[in-house]
Structure 1
Amino acid sequence: MRAVAERVVRGLVVLALLVDAGVHLALASDMQLAAPGGIGGGWLFRIQAVLALLAAGNLALRPSRLAYLVAGAVALSAFVPALLYTYADVPAIGPVPAMHDPFWSAPKMISALAEGLGAAGAMVGIGLTSRPVRDAPPG
């Protein structure tokens, strides 16, 4: 039963990362308009998409606690900024541009939902791939 649960969770996390990658790739060109010649949101979105695709592939092909940890980190690396840049007007930090966007468009909602569920699913996956703790023999 545990193996079946792990496969289902793995599939959901992989799907969440694929949705994350797809939305980021679709929005990348629009996000680059603010900094057409430099490091803009478009490049950050493309990097996020590539990382999500790599994490999804790694988890799909080599499920392990480490693969779930990487998948969760990638999902959180998109989910946290989506919330932060929605609710706070963060100024540019070094090469990272200011990307305040207080509106919840449909693609942003879909991506944030996938990222949040992917991160939560990755935590469940870590638990499912961990060895069960056995009670010590009485005595």
Structure 2
Amino acid sequence: MTAAGLLVDAVLHLQLAANYQLAAPGGIGQGNLFRIEAVLAVLAALLLVLRHGNRTAYAMALLMAGGGLTALLVYRYYQLPAFGPFPAMYEPVWFFKKSLAAIAEAVATAAALAGYLQAGQSISVSAANH
């Protein structure tokens, strides 16, 4: 479930990237940030699939999905100015792909947290048995 949420998030960000880059064609721009988000989400999903049950893999997935969801919500509800290489990305509307990305990130975040906590319990149980 975590990997699926991350992959849905990646696909949506790649689909939206080109239009968001139009505002800053020569700079880092929101489109390039979306592409970076997509690549990192795919890498986190691959790590999770290849290292299933690994606490570090779940932690990376949790950071990726939770970070994406946090950024989406912050830029939806708060008008932050541009800072450093990051553009101002305030967008106070919901539309289908944005809503779907939020749902995918929320599902991936919850599943990654559950996996992380369960992996920690497995480590504690196996350590207690030794």
TM over 0.5: yes
1:97 alignment partner AA: P
| 1:108 paired residue number | 98
Q: Within 1, Cα distance between the matches of 2:24 and 2:96? A: 24
Alpha-carbon distance, 1:77 to partner = 1.7
| 1:81 paired residue number | 71
Gaps (5+ residues) in structure 2?
Answer: none
Q: Within 2, Cα distance between the matches of 1:128 and 1:52? A: 21
| 1:6 paired residue number | none
* Partner-residue secondary structure (3-state), 1:46: helix
Gaps (5+ residues) in structure 1?
Answer: 1-11
Q: Alpha carbon RMSD of aligned pairs, Å? A: 1.4
| 1:15 paired residue number | 4
| 2:50 paired residue number | 61
* Partner-residue secondary structure (3-state), 1:35: coil
Q: Within 2, Cα distance between the matches of 1:127 and 1:90? A: 33
| 2:35 paired residue number | 46
Larger Rg belongs to: 1
Q: Within 2, Cα distance between the matches of 1:129 and 1:83? A: 28
2:67 alignment partner AA: S
Number of aligned pairs?
Answer: 124
* Partner-residue secondary structure (3-state), 1:76: helix
* Partner-residue secondary structure (3-state), 2:27: coil
Q: Within 2, Cα distance between the matches of 1:123 and 1:77? A: 13
| 2:116 paired residue number | 126
Alpha-carbon distance, 1:133 to partner = 4.3
Deviations along 1:34-70, whole A, 9 cap, x unmatched? 1011110011000000000000011011120000000
Q: State the identity %.
A: 48
Q: Within 1, Cα distance between the matches of 2:27 and 2:107? A: 32
